[in-house]
A = this chain, B = another copy of it.
Amino acid sequence: MLAMPLSETPRRAGTVSRPPACESCAARSLSICSAMQAEDLGRLASARTHQQVAAGETFLNEGDAATHFFNLVEGAVKVFKLLPDGRRQITGFLFAGDLLGLAFNESYSYSAEAITPVKLCRFPRRQLERLLDEFPRMEKRLLAMASNELAAAQEQMMLLGRKTAHERIASFLMSLARREERAGRPGEMLHLPMTRTDIADYLGITTETASRVFTSLKKRGAIELEGAGTVRLADRDALEELANGLE
């Protein structure tokens, strides 16, 4: 386990405010790196493999032996689980800088598929485990990340268990906006690389419902659409309220 997606990490005083550039794989914000010394990076780098994945390709399968973990360098990825009859639940979207497959079980508990063309850095898990033994600071960092992941997971349970379709979409959009802003980009204009079906499978609704809600929010003036992939959050306050079940 341990996939590190849109976790809403609160910037805490005392934490390294911006991880340094990770030379070894050209990722601008590989958060794990901030806990490593240059030499460690070198050691990990020696074992890493760069990998390209085409859009739509599944490069990690639920149940497979968890031999590697990944750093997503470029592109977007969906992480999901399937039921035998094909029903799908997407448990997270990952973007550049996110970590994937940091499992401590012997097999992956989810699958991962590229949404856009993807560049990733693959590390053998053993290598990481050795590093963890030697550099406890890294472990602490991972623990903090896992902690944030868990908080995000509980938030998602709240969404899936108790929110209406409108509230789910609003929550989703606000969550993306906050992520953009945490990365220093404006959060008003969003580019959605995933399809309506992906969004639906992430929010526990159907494609049709997702689409209907988007047009409904547009009619209300809460958002503007330019094609299906671009959303402008026209009334963030309204969306925020909706996301929290008010109104």
Bound CA–CA A244/B86 (angstroms): 11
Residues 56-97 of A contacting B (Cβ, < 8 Å) = 81, 83-85, 87-89, 91
Report the count of interface residues on A (CB-CB < 8 A).
50
> Known contacts being A110-B154, A154-B91, is A143 close to B144, with CB within 8 Å?
no
Using CB atoms, name the residue of chain B closest to A86: B245
Q: How many copies does the complex hold?
A: 2
A83 touches B161 (CB 8 A): no
Bound CA–CA A162/B109 (angstroms): 17
> Known contacts being A157-B91, A245-B84, is A148 close to B204, with CB within 8 Å?
no
A106 within 8 A of B: yes
Cross-chain contact of A148 among B91, B105, B106, B155 (Cβ < 8 A): B105
B150 touches A140 (CB 8 A): no
Kindly list chain B residues whose C-beta atoms are within 8 Å of the C-beta of A136.
133, 136, 139
9 residue pairs A–B, Cβ–Cβ below 8 Å? A1-B151, A1-B154, A81-B154, A91-B158, A104-B147, A139-B140, A139-B143, A143-B143, A143-B146
- Please name the 5 residue pairs, one residue from A and one from B, whose CB atoms are nearest each other, closest first: A161-B204, A160-B160, A153-B153, A146-B146, A104-B147
